[in-house]
Amino acid sequence: MAFATALEKAEMIAAQFDYSDDELRKCVRKFLSQMDGGLRERTPAMCQIPTYVTRVAQGTEKGQALGVDLGGTNLRVCLVTLHGDSSYHAVHSKVSLPSRIMLAYEAADLFGFMAEQIEALLRTHCPDQFGVSENVAILSLGLTFSFPVYQNAIDSGILLRWTKGFDIPSVVGQDVCELLQHEIALRSLPVKVTALVNDAAGTIMSRAYSLPRGETRTTIGTIFGTGTNGVYLEKLSEISKPLDGHFDESSGKMFISIEWGSFDNELSVLPNTEYDVEINQFSRNPGDQMFEKRVSGMFLGELLRTILAKLYVDPTVRLFGGIDANTGLMTGNPIPLHTRWAVDSSILSIAEFDGTDNLETLRQKIFDALRVPPSSIGIEDAQVVKIIAHAIAKRAARLGGMALGAVVTKTEQLGSVGSRSQDACVLGPSEADGHQPCLVDVGVDGSVIEFYPRFEVYMREALRAVDGIGTAGERLIRMGLAKDGSSVGAAIIALVAAQQTYEAP
Ligand code: GLC
């Protein structure tokens, strides 16, 4: 049970997470300038990686391909059959990644593990592909590798650095497609890696494929999961850094993976509380991915835990009863409340979701996630958790809205709608061609945006504050969840890359 000042203290901490419209607009300006810098320089921190995907799926693509998605927490493998009518059939497997793989010594540990999962899926669903050495159809594979990989071509890319919880130093600087193809060859699997894909790009493709014909196609993809990133369609004329590999230039555009997790690593405009400083200091990559550390699922739970652990030892608060009054020491094995990185972000969603007076569900979650004894979790303690969790998540969502707002601004898709009335846009000239006027379609994926109840609401609040978007522009931004989009999207990109039959967006 916390002291009476606990709620006041919680409100004071929450206030440190306020992120005003003015700060947001400052961030948008810097974001736009870093986007421009990334289109000129090869690999600045926010590195604007060319994806070599130049057209968006139309829903007419047909065939079968594999998608392999190495995310922050899970490895998904899926075999996708596209029917060519915006529908598909997919069989999936999903394993959570053991830390011995995420922190392995040899590249082969990770890529061998991936090849084993591919083999297992194929043996279950395509047993005919084995045992016959001739006339076996080679399956195209799209590898979703959700880390900063600098692409030289649609099917090759060099890992620049690890993010999220991964650290296998020997992979940095290597071509991740070659590493996977090598392990596939060792197992004689009938599979060729034909595309390297960022998860946000996969999200765009799977959503665009599934949209009904005639609908405005998806041009932006965002991930708010363990990590965060955005991909958008850029004009080739805007990309002045060299594009090494071959690609079809006829659309005049290419999808760019922003790697916005590293926006403002120098912290000139991002909000920075003492808790952000601590998280960064104890992370695997201090000074790197500073935007991601304020927005993505890997860090939101840890931010909350850091604050709660401080309130536990604060004698004026004594959250959850605080330190033992007699000894002043904690005894026994440290519970997750006192263990770095032991709490995931799902507690924030539950805190937002539980609107009951006695916060029963949240108190149960506090017990499950923080392992605080139930007798020490009073209603006030749960209220403290709720206030702080809300502040952390709202700031994350507003930062996410800021980034999306900057990207929408950069693509100029809304024209001057932000400064026009809603009616002017709806009745605008583009209505005649059968497309919904001025609509910007955004594919989203990731546990944070999927499960945090008001994440999109707060993102939209932020979008309305962006110069040139406003209320009228925000209404024209359509967001749709592309669940498991990154693995399905990777298969689509792989198939299309192998067949080279993209159609114009
Ligand atoms: C990290 C990765 C990025 C990925 C994002 C979302 O920020 O660097 O490539 O898209 O996480 O998974």
> How large is the average pLDDT for residues 15-36?
98
Q: In what order do the strands lie in the sheet with 62-70?
A: 88-96, 74-83, 62-70, 139-145, 191-197
93 φ, ψ (degrees, to nearest 5):
-135, 150
**Ligand 1 center–CA 328 separation, angstroms:** 42
Please tell me which residue, 421 or 164, carries the higher pLDDT value.
Answer: 164
Question: What are the residues whose beta carbons fall under 8 Å from the beta carbon of 92, sequence distance 6 or more?
Answer: 76, 77, 78, 484, 487
- Residue from 459, 503, 412 nearest 208 by CA: 503
pLDDT tens figures, 251-270 = 999 999 999 999 999 999 99
pLDDT at 177: 98
Nearest atom, ligand 1, residue 262 CA: 7
pLDDT grade, residue 310 (50/70/90)? very high
Please tell me which residue, 17 or 435, carries the higher pLDDT value.
Answer: 17
CB of 262 closer than 6 angstroms to any ligand 1 atom = no
Q: Answer whether residue 38 shows pLDDT above 80.
A: yes
Q: Answer whether residue 500 shows pLDDT above 80.
A: no
pLDDT grade, residue 501 (50/70/90)? very low
Burial class (CB in 10 A: 0-12, 13-18, 19+), 99: exposed
- Residue from 445, 439, 437 nearest 480 by CA: 445
Instruction: Estimate to the nearest angstrom the gap between the alpha carbon of 314 and the chain centroid.
Output: 35
**Ligand 1 center–CA 433 separation, angstroms:** 36
pLDDT tens figures, 93-113 = 999 999 999 999 999 999 999
CB of 228 closer than 6 angstroms to any ligand 1 atom = yes
**Ligand 1 center–CA 117 separation, angstroms:** 22
pLDDT grade, residue 62 (50/70/90)? very high
pLDDT at 299: 97
pLDDT at 324: 55
pLDDT at 134: 64
* Most confident segment among 3-12, 130-139, 144-153, 496-505: 144-153
CB of 297 closer than 6 angstroms to any ligand 1 atom = no
pLDDT at 438: 76
pLDDT at 3: 61
pLDDT tens figures, 339-374 = 999 999 999 999 999 999 999 999 999 999 999 999
The proportion of the chain whose per-residue pLDDT surpasses 90, expressed as a percent, equals 81
pLDDT tens figures, 179-220 = 999 999 999 999 999 999 999 999 999 999 999 988 889 999
pLDDT tens figures, 150-183 = 999 999 999 999 988 899 999 999 999 999 999 9
Do residues 50 and 242 touch, judged by C-beta distance below 8 A?
no
Of 199, 220, 293, 487, the one to substitute when testing ligand 1's pocket (max ligand atoms within 8 A of C-beta) is 199
| Residue 468 CB coordination number (10 Å) | 16
Do residues 308 and 319 touch, judged by C-beta distance below 8 A?
yes
Q: Answer whether residue 381 shows pLDDT above 70.
A: yes
pLDDT at 32: 98
Of 48, 69, 76, 147, the one to substitute when testing ligand 1's pocket (max ligand atoms within 8 A of C-beta) is 147
pLDDT at 137: 84
Nearest CA residue ID for atom 11, ligand 1 = 227
Q: Answer whether residue 333 shows pLDDT above 60.
A: yes
Q: Are strands 49-50 and 253-257 parallel, antiparallel or unpaired?
A: antiparallel
The proportion of the chain whose per-residue pLDDT surpasses 70, expressed as a percent, equals 90
CB of 196 closer than 6 angstroms to any ligand 1 atom = no
CB of 67 closer than 6 angstroms to any ligand 1 atom = no
Whole-number average pLDDT of the chain: 90
d(C-alpha 350, C-alpha 344), whole Å: 12
Please tell me which residue, 436 or 268, carries the higher pLDDT value.
Answer: 268
Nearest atom, ligand 1, residue 223 CA: 6
**Ligand 1 center–CA 321 separation, angstroms:** 39
Nearest atom, ligand 1, residue 198 CA: 10
pLDDT at 71: 83
Nearest CA residue ID for atom 9, ligand 1 = 147
**Ligand 1 center–CA 159 separation, angstroms:** 12
